[in-house]
Structures are given as structure tokens and as C-alpha cells.
Amino acid sequence: MMPFSELVLASHNAGKLKELQAMLGDAVRVRSVAEFSTVEPEETGLSFVENAILKARNAARISGLPALADDSGLAVDALGGAPGIYSARYADGQGDAANNAKLLDVLREVPDAERGAQFVCALALVRHADDPLPIICEGLWHGRILHAARGEHGFGYDPLFWVPECDCSSAELPAAQKNQLSHRARAMALLKQRLGI
């Protein structure tokens, strides 16, 4: 792939922008799609990969830059993979606190042994809006869902996601450590390998 000095991230999520810029380091300047448009494309895909490609193409089209999209979410085993691609809108778009409250409520009677879950990240990178060969990298981060929120860091479902190898929730991890372990970190490591950075 042609090297480039900047790309647009197809997300209005400041937390995601900060995480991805930290993971990419100084090799590439990451700009938010919010600099170019406040309108988000409709996520009509049925998978994380489909939605990532859709968002990347849209961001490339409106910015004229290579675009990176991240579609990520939480897949809970006991819920057949839900909330999945609807993770950010699980509680009808009412935000992280409402999403977390709904998840805790739905899992209220589910015992620890059946609360397995994974954070999923699909990254799609396109050189231009009609790129016939997007680069797709996926990452999974396995854990389980707690019975109550723990920790002050991160965003989304981080306070409910137990990380067994660290014996704490994702929201209790320092940002630098999370950026080495997370689903996004795993997908980004693959992407950096593909790009040679």
C-alpha cells in the first residue's frame, strides 16, 4: 500500500480517535471525520466488517483522504452475540450509562460461568472511496461481564468488562495498558504490520 502521512478516522468518538492515534504513534496523523461532516452514514451492514467498510468509504468520499474505520462492539455469549453491531445503540441511542444499565438488567439472572463475552474490532482502511481492495483487520478481546461497573477509565462497556489476565475491569486499566491489550490494539497491530509501520 502507498504510504501516506495522514488519514481520516470515520468516527465522531473522541475516545476512539485518541486511542487509535496513540496506537499509530507519530507515523500517521489521524484526523476526525467530524472536521469534514457531522453526518454519520447509516450502518446498514449485518457485521462489524461490513459496517467498517461502509464507514471508511463514506469518510474517504467526504474528506478526499485515505480513511480508516473501526466498527467495534461487545458480543456476549449468553445473548447469542448481542449487543454486537448494535452495541453503541443498545439502549436506543441513550448513551454509555443506559447501554450498561440495560446489559446488566438483561444479564441479571445469568451466573458467572455463563457471562463470557468478547470485545470485537473490525478495522477497514481504504485508500479512496472506491478502493476495490480495502485492508481488513480484526481483533478479539475475551473476558466476561461483571455484575456491577468498576473503574473510571475508558468508555462504552469498559466498566463491565472483566479482563481475567489482569484481574480487573477494562475501565480499571491505565490507558497505555489497555492500548496494548484491547480488541482495537490487536486489530491495529495487524494493520501496522500490513502497512509496514
pLDDT tens digits, one per residue of 84-123: 999 999 999 899 999 999 999 999 999 999 999 999 999 9
Dist CA 116 CA 112 (whole Å): 8
Can you give the length of the chain in residues?
197
- Reply yes or no on whether the pLDDT at 21 is more than 70: yes
The answer, yes or no, to whether residue 61 has pLDDT greater than 90, is yes
Q: Which domains does the chain have, with CATH numbers?
A: 6-195 (3.90.950.10)
Rounded CA-CA distance 98/104 in Å is 10
Residue 40 is assigned to a ligand binding site: no
Question: What is the average pLDDT across 10-33?
Answer: 86
**Pick the catalytic residue: 71, 96, 105, 112?**
71
Q: What is the mean pLDDT of residues 172-181?
A: 91
Judge whether 130 counts as a catalytic residue. Answer: no
pLDDT at 1 over 60: no
State pTM to two decimals. Answer: 0.89
Q: How many whole angstroms separate alpha carbon 31 and alpha carbon 115?
A: 37
Phi then psi for 121, rounded to 5 degrees? -135, 125
pLDDT band at 175, cuts 50/70/90? Answer: confident
Strand partners, 76: 117
Is 158 labelled a binding residue?
yes
Residue 192 annotated as binding site: no
Of all residues in the chain, what percent carry a pLDDT higher than 90? 76
